[in-house]
A = this chain, B = another copy of it.
Amino acid sequence: MSSSQSGASSPVRRGRRPGQPETRQVILDAARARFASDGYTATTIRKIAADAGVDAALVMQYFKSKDELFATVLSVPAHALMRMTDAWRGPEVGIGERVARAFLEVWENDPTASEPLLAMLRGAMSTEQAAAQLRDFIEDRLLIGVSAHLRGDDPDTRLRIGIASAMLVGIIVARSVVRVPTVANVSLESIVSATATALQPLLASE
């Protein structure tokens, strides 16, 4: 898919294309998908350009550098963020399942959120820039935005929230990145159920 011109006579269309251009968005979508599936270093401007059916130089014209393009890709939609933080408030009964379900459904079923998140996660393994981004995302967006909801924010509570988040990230790694069969070839519902069993005693008062 994503080939370029159809059946005209000239070899390659050179200048501006007719119609109102949506090229910037097309490039951004291609970049998001590439960064999410291949990681930062393995993703090249030329591959993104090819996916978008566009010259590599045009990518540089819209986004000044690969780094800036990557940074743009990493923005997570607000609705997904809210979904993940809101799950922590509410009664302690069932908090394990609520959190597990919200988190995993966002990471697995919502492409507009999971692609930036996966790009961040994959990038964090190879570039310090992405690691810092993911660090701040978990520390500032999740941990701090959440610990207020959950019986104060003593250090022990924050640690438990951090551990729970880390565990959920681990499940994403196993399912979406490493694809361990035992964990990957199973319905989300089974995963949510088992994960909830583990998170519940961590997050409820003992």
Q: Which residues of A contact B (CB under 8 A)?
A: 38-39, 41-42, 121-122, 124-127, 131, 134-135, 138-139, 143, 158-171, 173-175, 177-183, 186, 190-191, 194-195, 197-202, 206
Of all chain B residues, the one with the shortest Cβ separation from A166 is: B174
Q: Quick check: B42 and A177 within 8 Å, CB to CB?
A: no
> If the complex has contacts A134-B178, A178-B131, A178-B134, are A183 and B159 also in contact, measured as CB distance less than 8 A?
yes
> What are 12 A-B contacts with C-beta separation under 8 Å?
A124-B178, A125-B126, A125-B177, A131-B179, A135-B179, A139-B181, A159-B186, A167-B167, A168-B170, A170-B170, A197-B201, A197-B202
CA distance A114 to B159 in the complex (A): 23
Count this chain's copies in the assembly. Answer: 2
Question: In the complex, how many angstroms separate the beta carbon of A156 from the nearest chain B beta carbon?
Answer: 8
Q: How many Å lie between the Cα of A167 and that of B122 in the bound state?
A: 17
